Structure 1
Amino acid sequence: MEGCSGLVVEGTYAGQPAIIKLYGPDDEGLDVCQQEVAAYGALAAVQGRLVPRLLGTGHAKDGVWFVALEALPGVPLSRLMPLPATVAAAALAALRELHNAVQGFVHGDIRLANILFVEGGGDAGGRGGDGRPDGAPKAGGRCVIVDLGMARLGAAVEEVQAEQRLLERLLGA
């Protein structure tokens, strides 16, 4: 899949299923890679809960850099429309908690496609014993914010608040 600054592929990293983002070989790719790594570093305390866990990063070859992230069994909110109120509330809560985790943090690319709903407990797909159709969320899930390639640290309070209002508009809240 083509991202805004690189290529995103599924694979493994250190034997673990991963989403691997490839950047470069230009300076812009390296800059975005470094920006994403810095964001994950600042968000170390909430990795695995509000953002995927950073598994590794480095130089692949020929000027290409990579970021390996934990693969999550989630569904982008853009595929769950119309969103159940509980899922919309979980998305807003996740973004607020992310903003509170690091003062001045902004995601920079808040879209429904960049927020995953991860079900709590049970299998990730198919029709479960509760009769839900494929892709229908069930209670007990959480939202995880993905794609930190445009994230910034040190943003003004107004920028943080604007990002929260943007998500509220996208969710119809």
Structure 2
Amino acid sequence: MSPAIIFQLHIVLGYVPWLLCFGAYIWPRLKSMDPLEAQRAIATLHSFRFFGLVFIVPGVVGPDLPAGFATPAAYGDFASGLLAILALLSVRTRPLFWLFVISFNVAGAVDLIVDYYHGIQFDLPSAAGALAATYAIPIVYVPILMITHVAAFYLLLRPQPKAARAFAGDAAAS
């Protein structure tokens, strides 16, 4: 099997264990949590996205990694991670927290979609070896990021029971 096919297989199969784990353990817990706490948990995971900057560190990635992929991926992750950190830091100021939650999820999901697009555009599977030490990021980390963005959007858009809305309003007033 060629390295390009192995990389594509890794990308696809990276979602399978995360979807199984997410469905069995994470999603039931997130759905049962207070909406703020669920988004806070998701933001905590995404707050580590600053390490996407490794895509532009010489010596960590190979010189043949397409800059058209690496640079936007690095800075998109960095921006998403900073927005997630800002969400976590602003949890006591609810309107600001929700603004940052929406912001990091929109920015983060768009970043991952653009990264997939650039991966195709710049034929990343053929240059997968140039990912070097960062090879595991798109295989292991990106799937759970995308899955949690989808979950975050679902949780943001689902109707809240009246009791939960009243509780959230009481908490914001205190």
Category of TM-score, reference length = shorter chain: under 0.3
RCO higher in 1 or 2 (8 Å CA, sep ≥ 6)? 2
Bigger radius of gyration: 2
- Alignment TM-score, normalising by the size of structure 2: 0.23
- Structure 1 or 2: more helix by fraction: 2
TM-score normalised by the chain length of structure 1? 0.23
Q: Which has the higher strand share?
A: 1
